[in-house]
Structure 1
């Protein structure tokens, strides 16, 4: 009987954690964490780019490199570092820890499953989608 009472409380707590509480600026996040290497316009020409062993990617061409489709889930995995763990050739920092502050939002990760995802990560990916040529 206590399990029946506790279950709705847990469910409400989870749903409350997924509700966006504030507006997040993907552009501000981009300028704070990405522009120094990728440049303000996303072309890979930021002031720190020259000091890296590998030139940063041109983020305005992500969709073009993917047959005209912006691969949002893959982009988010790259940003947070999930798909790059153990890749010693990557000079891009893993931003997952930095971007996980704040509320979670539900995102379809391509398999029909709505996955709680940091709102900052989603906002940054949405901004990158707007930069596409």
Structure 2
């Protein structure tokens, strides 16, 4: 009887932890999903010096760079009118830059230090991702030009 009770308690604990994780992924008990406006503020504070206020690559630091910053408003047009969420997130968070042999985009460690929110990079899987990174991605996606 004691064994059954211990197994039942263990099962309840595992179920509770699982449900807590699901609630966290659903955005409950964590920070709310970021808005485009919040992403714009983070963009202005972290990206506009190089990519410019409107994202076209004409920021004050752009002239001093050996390689011009990307025009962030053309990402979708360059990808058959599809915004490549996974690739853009990999660039923002630094994973896509780890193999660069020239200085490029700086890493913004403080952007990683934020509550996690569920992020779907386009594969249908919700991945816990720092809220500030998702906010910047949402803003960049909102400034895409269309034909």
* Structures share fold, TM-score greater than 0.5: yes
Map of 1:105 onto structure 2: 117
Distance 1:13 1:99, change over 3 A: farther
RMSD: 2.0
Deviations 1:29-52 (A, max 9, x none): 100110000000111110111222
Deviations 1:69-96 (A, max 9, x none): 111121111110112212122410123x
Map of 2:11 onto structure 1: 4
* TM-score for the superposition, normalised by structure 2: 0.78
Conserved in 2, the CA contact under 8 Å of 1:84 and 1:90? no
Which of 1 and 2 has greater Rg?
Answer: 2
CA drift of 1:112 comes to: 3.0
Map of 1:21 onto structure 2: 31
Partners of 1:89 and 1:65 lie apart in 2 by 23
Partners of 1:21 and 1:113 lie apart in 2 by 19
Partners of 1:128 and 1:55 lie apart in 2 by 18
* TM-score for the superposition, normalised by structure 1: 0.85
Aligned pair count reads: 132
**Structure 1: gaps (5+ residues):** none
**Structure 2: gaps (5+ residues):** 1-6
Match runs of 1:1-133 below 5 Å: 1=7, 2-15=9-22, 17-18=24-25, 19=27, 20-22=30-32, 24=34, 25-95=38-108, 97-133=109-145
